[in-house]
Amino acid sequence: MKILVTGGTGYIGSHTVVELFSAGYDVIAVDDFSNSDPKILDQIEKITGKKPAFKQLDLCNEQEVIAFAKENQDIDGIIHFAASKAVGESVQNPLKYYRNNFYGLINILTAFNSKIKLVFSSSCTVYGQPDTLPVNENAPVKKAESPYGNTKQIAEEILQETCAVSPDLNVIVLRYFNPVGAHKSALIGELPIGVPQNLVPFITQSAIGKRGPITVFGDDYNTPDGSAVRDYIHVVDLAKAHVSAIKRLEKGDTANYEVFNVGTGKGSSVLEIINAFETSTGEKLNYTIGARREGDVEQTYGDVKLSNEVLGWKAELDLNEMMSSAWNWEKYLKDNPF
């Protein structure tokens, strides 16, 4: 199969390209480099010995996407990552998120005539603050806590409603939790532009001297240590889940719309992540306690039984591996700046 990976030079996209190559798939990647770097293509080649076919493409431009689809009619499946992704930024700039996250998806469905096998990058943010933990796929989708979360909710609705009238469209939605870490080679990892919006890259940048002290947003949540709790998953495990989803779609014996949680099934607090980083790297972190951040939920972690049993996938890498690999990537960037 030939797989199109949108956002293929991004954080999760690049790791997924590596795992797709490892599994024997042909890959074509597209990206507009708004949140990534062209050098990632060379880094993928260093890891795998292969460079994916690539097209710089603005998925919000309908005519460009239609032309691309006509030129690449041999694409068998799509993994759609390309989107704006930071909760905090989405609160400050909601129109950017509604524009990027809807136009790209709709243009892909239009260009490929809704006749494709598609894995969609969704998020646990669709659950808001769950009533019961761990949260499973049957939990109610609540009013979103942020524009980012709202775009994922509505995108899922777009896909489900399109599947209902498009028998040739087969979709697996992966609702994943908090990806962290980097490839064991330290050649690819999270590459935030400007001030990181996510916890772990801010930790690594603080530890290496790029940033000041870390701010823990809230220590008065109803959690064991008062800080917010998330289900952190190693990005390589997450990438492998996308390969498992493609393999399931390839078999062709599934419902044409399915949803799976992808996480470890265990919650870790912000303060636990800080401690895990210090333990695994030997680096001491400076942090301060700040006010709760708008758009954040108190705690969430996933019930991943369905993805374990039906996708045949399970997270394997622990917190220490997440933190140490993220640190190795940060040290690589210090010596090899992008």
The 8 Å CB, 24+ separation contacts for 90-97 are 90/146, 90/147, 90/148, 90/149, 90/151, 90/295, 91/146, 91/147, 91/294, 91/295, 94/147, 97/147, 97/148, 97/151
Active-site residue (options: 11, 25, 127, 148): 148
Assess whether 148 carries a catalytic annotation: yes
Order of strands, sheet of 117-123, starting from the edge strand that comes earlier in the sequence? 53-56, 26-31, 2-6, 77-80, 117-123, 170-176, 257-262
Name the 3-class secondary structure at 222. coil
Q: Which residues does 194 contact at the CB level (< 8 Å), separation at least 6?
A: none
What is the token pair recorded at 229?
A: 């709790």
Cα–Cα distance, 240 to 10 (Å, whole number): 16
Cα–Cα distance, 130 to 124 (Å, whole number): 10
Which one-letter amino acid corresponds to residue 117?
K
Cα–Cα distance, 62 to 77 (Å, whole number): 19
Active site residues: 148
